[in-house]
Structure 1
Amino acid sequence: MSRNVRVLAARCCFDVIDQGMSLSEALPKAQASLDNPADKALLQEICFGVMRTLPQLEAVCSQLMAKPLIKQLRPLQFLLYVGIYQLKFMRIPDHAAISETVEAARELKGQSLTKLINAVLRNVQRQPQLFDFASAAAAVQYNHPGWLISQLQQTYPTQWPQILQANQQKAPLWLRVNVSKIAPADYAAALEQAQISFSQPLSYLPAAIKLTQAQDVTTLPGYHQGWFSVQDAAAQHAALLLNVNDSLHILDACCAPGGKTCHILELAPQALLTALDKEPKRLERVHDNLARLGLTARVIAGDAAEPTLWWQGQLFDRILLDVPCSATGVIRRHPDIRWLRKKADIAALAELQQRILQQCWALLAPGGKLLYATCSVLAAENDEQITTFLQQHTDARLAALPEHLTILKSDVHSSSWQILPGEQDMDGFFYALLEKDSQL
């Protein structure tokens, strides 16, 4: 595989947009051919940037080319996007961005197109007005697919621009201190001693620490000792909302990669916890995380929508249902989601979510609590799901969220909580805590 960062970036973006591969899969494969950490970071910056600004990059190209490159030349079209992104959005000197991109074209077997690529990039350099999109379609202005913009406008009439803007920002690196091993204050002291800059901005999440700059987490104090995990602050609410203790029988029904599983066990190390996921391959991460943090759970491969295939008959006191979703709340962290997800996916996801919710509700003991969670901002996956479920289940009610959270809520609903992307620098997340009638 090539060791040229621009070649790798072009191929990586091609794999995502034209081949449907996730950036989480394509990027590590591309980075594997690079030895220099700086080159790996540059590759990530370019790929993430192209994903964030793709409509504008396409629009600029369309003004400078009669038609886009197609078929076997498609990787070279993405190389143009790579070059334009460097010129417009990065601090790489223009001459270096142009010359390196033209050189990469030769390696992509585009020798005959080097003059074209050089000409396009030099026109971009000379014509900043090419990036004037004031009269362009909303998809170009906001760098999001039109269907998603429309849905956000319907659900959030005043907040949708703020959501789209938040999706364009780089996500911070949040840590969750493992309170079963070290106190948050002691871990903060360890970071200070290592001269690592951080903040603890959320008083209601004392174990949450936000690093000022992202870095290799394996080099942070206490990584191998299991002193912390990487987890966005929004996701850190799940275990707390469940209000767990050591005496409970708990199900984490869609558990991979295991961040919330581990958090539950950090708060209740003696709890009997079943960690379930449909994909055996993804459970490898769960085992790894449990081992690093020194925690124990019953980990099984099984489909939450088909409990008859794995459930052993004992009801659960708590169920965490972090269901498969559109992930539209974490676009700032995974900018390719906006291009991989299609409008037609939402109805199919909503149907699956409701089926999982219905099936897992039957596994909850009377008086037990089920936390429904998504990393989505779409009403079809969130409030509408809960409304539908409550209409069909007289033994279910929405439990009140902790009082300290009510002041944080951005929506008008009293018992569910929609966190929007960027709120207190958190990812977009939805929570609804359901309680089963104890008089059964």
Structure 2
Amino acid sequence: MGARTRKAPRTGADAGSEVRRRASAAVSAVLHEGWRLEAALDYEGLGQADRALLRELATGTVRWAVRLRAVLDDLLDRSLPRKEKRLEALLLVGLHQLSHTGIPPYAAVSATVGALTGKQAWARRLVNGVLRRFGRERDDRLARVDNRSPALRHAYPDWLVEALGAGYPENWEAVLAAGNRPPPLTLRVRGDRSAYLEGLAAAGIPGSALDAAPGAVALEEFLPVGALPGFAEGRVSVQDGAAQLAAALVAPRPGERVLDACSAPGGKLAHLLDWAPGAEVVAVEAEAGRLARIRETLDRLGLEAGALVHGDATAPAAWWDGRPFDRILVDAPCSGTGVIRRHPDIKHLRRPEDIPALAARQGALLEALWPLLRPGGRLVYATCSVLPAENREVVTAFLEGEPGARTATPEADWGRPDGPGRQILPGEQGMDGFYYACLEAPEAAA
């Protein structure tokens, strides 16, 4: 994406065009350079309303880019030059506004054309013509693309549609649709959830409780964390309801020794510390830079882990002190296909060849960490994936090689039985897609 050029804040029509310019830069960085969307968004100098619009336009365009690219190809008389990546991204931002937002068409077209300055000014007539033509023929253009394939209709890569169809022959299209619906902002409340909801209502912030997770509250509108009541004081954290189920499954008790493997960014670690204040919780994270995020989370919440360790969880000999753990949480690195509704860039950043490599690492984590568990202890395997290759197949393969391990995943009112664990599909009970499996080690021989 290159170095960013900081610009003075703008107002009115100029501000609208600047937002479209920045949205197209972020979209291009994701589609053409492999950036994560959050890292590509440039909010510098924008007011709150423009920041929200930038986020909405960039996120929505990335979410629907597969579909919008097909529409754009049909609208163009000839393909854009390969070097015009930012122009393609700007056209996609314009098409997204006209097809998926309530922005008045004249305003969307005008601000998008106005984003073309300097060496790109030559393309104003092209962009104006393409967007106006789409505005006149919108329904027909979308229908033509949607009728070609489910992948285009739902704006997913072909390989992922095929994988979900194989894994969920009765639910695959619902999973695709759920991934395209913008999610609520979900919080974990520390303390009295009802009192916090009353405080939200008094502040004019609509929110509701999620039944599956006792501390979860879903907000109807996105708010910056700094605007969340009680956030700075550590009263709430941003965490999806499905992620909040981990602590209850690990169920640590005061005095027990607990391992949180692959711990960043620290939300589940904080929940474990809140769950059992007297437990000794050791957090391991392979990426040194992410340890700082864990420390920031714990500092804000006034919590302290037993130890924060920079280490590879698949190689415990380098960091383990030899004392067994009563409980282990393996929050395994995964494809993230269960959180596409929050991170639509996953559609573009993941490749089919990633899945076998991820599954191999997930299996290696289980094999490396299982010997650290005391006899009778519990290990909880978790991913935010909906692909069976990362979930039931990984755990089933591990169990086949560890005949003493016992499946202990409880019956629950969330998710559905899936092999040795339970799978939550995106959007079910207001939650992200997650997989959990609980395993218990055999008791020591008398």
Q: TM-score, normalised by structure 1?
A: 0.94
**Aligned equivalents of 2:311 and 2:216: distance in 1?**
31
Contact 1:68 1:77 survives alignment (8 Å): no
Aligned partner (choices 410, 416, 420) of residue 416 of structure 2: 410
Matches within 5 A, 1:227-306: 227-297=235-305, 298-306=307-315
Aligned partner (choices 376, 396, 407) of residue 405 of structure 2: 396
Contact 2:210 2:241 survives alignment (8 Å): no
Quote the offset at 1:412 in angstroms: 5.1
Equivalent AA in structure 2 for residue 251 of structure 1: L
Report SS of the residue matched to 1:311.
coil
Moved more, 109-118 or 235-244: 109-118
Matches within 5 A, 1:316-395: 316-395=325-404
Query: Is 2:322 aligned against 1:313?
Result: yes
Equivalent AA in structure 2 for residue 106 of structure 1: T
Query: Is 2:169 aligned against 1:157?
Result: yes
CA displacement, residues 293-351 of structure 1 (integer Å, 9 cap, x when unaligned)? 11110111111011111111111110000000000000000001011000000000001
Residues 67/274 of structure 1: CA separation in 2 closer, same or farther (3 Å cut): farther
Please name the residue that 1:426 is paired with.
431
Residues 226/134 of structure 1: CA separation in 2 closer, same or farther (3 Å cut): closer
**Aligned equivalents of 1:287 and 1:2: distance in 2?**
30
Please name the residue that 2:134 is paired with.
124
Quote the offset at 1:25 in angstroms: 1.2
Please name the residue that 1:87 is paired with.
98
**Gapped regions of structure 2 (runs ≥ 5):** 8-17
Contact 2:20 2:54 survives alignment (8 Å): yes
Query: Is 2:124 aligned against 1:114?
Result: yes
Equivalent AA in structure 2 for residue 386 of structure 1: V
Query: Is 2:187 aligned against 1:143?
Result: no
Residues 56/134 of structure 1: CA separation in 2 closer, same or farther (3 Å cut): closer
**Aligned equivalents of 1:365 and 1:427: distance in 2?**
32
**Aligned equivalents of 2:28 and 2:146: distance in 1?**
28
Equivalent AA in structure 2 for residue 93 of structure 1: P
**Aligned equivalents of 2:253 and 2:74: distance in 1?**
61
Query: Is 2:236 aligned against 1:222?
Result: no
**Aligned equivalents of 2:217 and 2:388: distance in 1?**
30
Report SS of the residue matched to 1:318.
strand
CA displacement, residues 152-202 of structure 1 (integer Å, 9 cap, x when unaligned)? 111100100100000000011111112xxx322332333233232211130
Equivalent AA in structure 1 for residue 196 of structure 2: Y
Quote the offset at 1:2 in angstroms: 5.6
Moved more, 143-152 or 84-93: 84-93
User: What percent of counterpart residues are identical?
Assistant: 42
Report SS of the residue matched to 2:186.
strand
**Aligned equivalents of 1:412 and 1:41: distance in 2?**
38
Report SS of the residue matched to 2:321.
coil
Report SS of the residue matched to 1:317.
strand
Quote the offset at 1:247 in angstroms: 1.3
Query: Is 2:63 aligned against 1:52?
Result: yes
Quote the offset at 1:223 in angstroms: 1.5
Equivalent AA in structure 2 for residue 228 of structure 1: V
**Gapped regions of structure 1 (runs ≥ 5):** none
Contact 1:242 1:318 survives alignment (8 Å): yes
> Aligned residues, how many?
428
Quote the offset at 1:142 in angstroms: 1.5
Please name the residue that 2:107 is paired with.
96
Query: Is 2:41 aligned against 1:19?
Result: no
**Aligned equivalents of 1:74 and 1:400: distance in 2?**
48
Equivalent AA in structure 1 for residue 120 of structure 2: G
Please name the residue that 1:105 is paired with.
116
Equivalent AA in structure 1 for residue 48 of structure 2: P
**Aligned equivalents of 1:6 and 1:276: distance in 2?**
41
Quote the offset at 1:264 in angstroms: 0.4
Please name the residue that 1:196 is paired with.
205
Q: TM-score, normalised by structure 2?
A: 0.93
Quote the offset at 1:228 in angstroms: 1.1
Equivalent AA in structure 1 for residue 181 of structure 2: Q
**Aligned equivalents of 1:13 and 1:435: distance in 2?**
45
